Structure formats: C-alpha cells, structure tokens
C-alpha cells in the first residue's frame, strides 16, 4: 500500500481523508473517544505538511438521509479539542455547505463534512450509485487518504469507490493496524492464544474455522459460550443459545483436538438486570430459569494463565456483561492478563476496547487496541478487505 509520503508535497493540496469517528454517544456526550484519538497521528501529519483536510466519516446507522441524532457535531467538537485547532463542520456531506467550506480552507485547516451515511449512495449495493457519490467526494479534494480501519471491510463510496478516483494512500492508523494484523496471521510468535467472547457464535464461526489452523488455544467466553456448552451436552437454562449452530459447534469441538478451552464455571442470574442476584455455578449445574452472564472465577483464573503464558494474544469480545459490575469479573481478569503478556497483546476493537477503558485500563497497557472489531475479525478470517485491496499497487 502507498503511504502518505508517496503522495508528494501536500502543502496547499486538499486531502480528502476517511476517518473513523463512529464513537458511542450518551445524548451529545461521547462516552469513549478512542477512535477520535486514534485518528490524530495522521491528521497531525497532514496538518504539519500544510494540507487542507476534508474529513469523511460516519456515526451510527442513519438510513441514507439526514438525521440530527447521528450528526457528527459532537465528534467534530472533540476532534478540535484534541487537535487544539478550530475544526469546522459542514451542514451537509457534498452539498453547498461542504463545497464552500472546502474552498475556504487554508493550509493546515481541518473540515469535517456531515455523516456520509446521510447519503443514500454511501452504502448502496449499486456500483453506479456509489460511484456517483464518490465523484462528489473526489471533487472536494486532490488526493485521498484512507485512515478508517473500522470500515475497510466495507465496499462503500467513502472507503472504496473514492480511492479509485483520486491518488490514494493509507494513513498512519491503517498502516499500523495492517502491520499488527500481519503479526497475527503471517509472522506470529507462539504460543498464540485467541480469546473470543460477545453474544453470538454465528458472528464468529468463520474466524473460529480459520483460527483452528493457526492458534494454539481458543478461549471461549461471553454469550456465545452457551452454544458450545450445549454442544457438549450441558443444559444452559435461559442463557443465550443459538440452537441452529449447535451441530456446527460440535464439529469444531471434534476438529479442535483440545485447542478450544471452555469455562468450567459461570456466573448466573434469574434476570438480565444489573442488580439481579448473581450466583457462581459449575457449567454442569446451570439451573433452569437462570441465565449465564459471565464466566466464573475459576474459569477466569484458567483463562488468565493461558494468556500470560502466550507470546501472542488476540482478544475480541467481553467475557460477560462487562458494563454491570456483578458480571464484569471475567472481562477484567482477561484484560489484566493481557497487560502481563511478554509479547504482542491485541484488543480487537469494538466492545472489547470500550470494556477495557470502562474498567479503568489505559490504552498503553496493551500492545495494541484495534479500532476495527469487524474489520479485524474479517482479516483474521482470511477475507480480502475491499478498502485495503483498493490501496494496493
């Protein structure tokens, strides 16, 4: 992939850059600004080079039309605070406001246009519709920089199509993310341990399938673990269960030859509520009417021991309902163990990244915190990611 330096002298040039500013909000308050902070190195590099910067980004899932609840205003404001600069926000994506603001930029100035998903063509499956929108993005600038790793697995106008219309390069964030992903797939130090959690096993079937050939151990927690326990013949009470995946999971367990490590105890409760009374039980004794909401303390210790003995660890997905204190123990134990890895420890974006910050861990406690949960998983599946492929020479 080309780097920013391959684009030549950028002083006075308009740089259209795809960033990932898709931050969680509580009203207008950003609850985790990790993705905005991750965009700073590339934006600072461009500002120092005298570029005139037009930021494309999305937030949430608007339905192809303007929606005030998904405005990028909070993200643009926070970006300005972190850069120590006056970051302007256009009222639209490719309309008169965006064009006028882009034309008015001076060297080193930063403009954020509104949420690209306010445009119906952004996520269209119709290539002609996406291209028509991408041409409007391209008209705002002279070159394109791709720095939103969290969206490189999407064939979208601001990720893929615009990169075919302008001289394009990878930003510092995307370059770093790809280098880390290569260490997890091509240049891996062993023992290699992968920790997978989250709600649904169906979301991670392909990555499990691919990792069975590469990883030394797969530690399974979160809501998805109960489909594995069911496949082993255990009753799981009212826990989250994907009945249609039980046979598939049985096949993985047979193939795994001991690589898949499951909890031996879990934390259960009668209701999905923060204050629901928690009880620790063995996986062979989950009561009817109770649901598992975390791995148990013995399992947390066992998982931590596997992690601390590894040279490479990738973790995607909390071990339980980590936002509730009574069911955060497993996630906290995994996070703590990752900080002790003598090698590469990677927190795989999304809910995992939010969880470690909520639990009080600093970003630099880990080798790398990815900004792209879905993109990371698809990379580990061995898929070609359109937003990366389009940047390759």
The neighbour count for residue 108, using CB atoms within 10 Å, is: 15
Catalytic site residue from 2, 77, 99, 200? 200
Do 253 and 286 meet the contact criterion of CB atoms below 8 Å apart? no
Rounded to whole angstroms, the Cα distance separating 205 from 244 reads: 12
Catalytic site residue from 13, 14, 35, 78? 35
Residue 261 has φ and ψ, to the nearest 5°, of: -110, 125
Four-CA torsion 284, 288, 291, 294, nearest 10 degrees: -20
Q: 292 has which bridge partners? A: 268
CA pseudo-torsion sign 280, 286, 288, 289: positive
Mark whether 182 is an active-site residue: no
Structure tokens at 142: 């002279």
The neighbour count for residue 83, using CB atoms within 10 Å, is: 16
Rounded to whole angstroms, the Cα distance separating 284 from 117 reads: 47
Helices (H) and strands (E) in the chain, counts: 13, 17
Mark whether 255 is an active-site residue: no
Catalytic site residue from 95, 374, 382, 383? 374
Do 60 and 30 meet the contact criterion of CB atoms below 8 Å apart? no
Catalytic site residue from 150, 292, 350, 387? 350
Mark whether 35 is an active-site residue: yes
Mark whether 27 is an active-site residue: no
For the annotated catalytic residues, the residue numbers are 35, 200, 350, 374
């Amino acid at each position: 992939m080309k780097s920013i330096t391959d684009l030549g002298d950028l002083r006075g040039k308009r740089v259209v850059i795809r960033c990932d500013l898709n931050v969680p909000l509580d009203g207008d308050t950003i609850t985790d600004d990790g993705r905005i902070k991750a965009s700073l190195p590339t934006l600072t590099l461009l500002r120092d080079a005298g570029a005139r910067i037009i930021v494309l980004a999305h937030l949430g899932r608007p339905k192809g039309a303007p929606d005030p609840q998904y405005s990028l205003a909070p993200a643009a404001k926070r970006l300005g605070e972190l850069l120590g600069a006056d970051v302007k926000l256009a009222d639209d994506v490719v309309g008169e406001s965006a064009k006028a603001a882009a034309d008015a930029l001076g060297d080193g100035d930063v403009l954020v246009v509104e949420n690209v998903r306010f445009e119906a063509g952004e996520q269209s499956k119709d290539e002609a519709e996406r291209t028509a929108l991408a041409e409007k993005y391209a008209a705002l600038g002279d070159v394109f920089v791709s720095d939103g790793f969290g969206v490189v697995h999407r064939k979208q106008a601001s990720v893929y199509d615009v990169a075919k219309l302008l001289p394009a390069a990878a930003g510092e964030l995307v370059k770093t993310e790809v280098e880390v992903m290569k260490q997890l797939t091509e240049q891996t130090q062993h023992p290699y341990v992968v920790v997978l959690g989250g709600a649904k096993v169906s979301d991670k079937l392909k990555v499990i399938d691919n990792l069975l050939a590469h990883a030394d151990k797969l530690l399974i927690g979160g809501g998805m673990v109960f489909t594995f326990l069911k496949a082993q013949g255990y009753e799981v009470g009212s826990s989250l269960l994907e009945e249609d995946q039980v046979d598939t999971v049985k096949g993985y367990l047979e193939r795994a030859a001991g690589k898949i490590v499951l909890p031996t105890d879990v934390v259960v409760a009668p209701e999905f509520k923060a204050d629901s009374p928690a009880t620790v039980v063995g996986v062979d004794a989950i009561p009817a009417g109770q649901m598992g909401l975390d791995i148990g303390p013995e399992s947390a210790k066992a998982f931590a021991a596997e992690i601390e003995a590894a040279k490479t660890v990738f973790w995607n997905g909390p071990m339980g309902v980590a936002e509730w204190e009574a069911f955060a123990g497993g996630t906290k134990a995994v996070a703590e163990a990752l900080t002790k890895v003598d090698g590469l420890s990677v927190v795989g974006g999304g809910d995992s990244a939010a969880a470690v910050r909520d639990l009080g861990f600093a970003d630099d406690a880990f080798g790398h915190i990815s900004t792209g949960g879905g993109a990371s998983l698809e990379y580990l599946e061995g898929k070609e990611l359109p937003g990366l492929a389009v940047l390759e020479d």
